Amino acid sequence: MDAHLKHGKLEFLVLWKGYGDKDRMWEPEAHLDNSRDAVHKFYSKNPSAPRKLRGIDSKLLNSLFQTMPKNLTTTSGIWSRLEVEP
């Protein structure tokens, strides 16, 4: 099992019983309601695996971040003020 966030949605890479490794697939968290024990076991073995943040307003969270400029050379010149110590 593995986990990742795709478009802000938590998905798990699962291997369903009776299927082979080539049949593993990414499933949304909602599809694992009957597999809560497997999910808890996964997180106990992988505590740094991605988790969905609950109880956080997504608009507030998104307001904390800015889009990076496509061309960093057109930024406000903050890099020109950096000095290198000998």
More confident residue, 15 or 7: 15
Calculate mean pLDDT across residues 7-34.
90
Q: How confident is the model at residue 80 (pLDDT cuts 50, 70, 90)?
A: low
Q: Is the dihedral of CA 15, 19, 23, 27 positive or negative?
A: negative
Overall fold of domain 1-50: OB fold (Dihydrolipoamide Acetyltransferase, E2P) (2.40.50)
Per residue in 26-53, pLDDT (tens digit) is 999 889 888 889 988 988 898 888 887 6
Q: What pTM was estimated for this model as a whole? A: 0.56
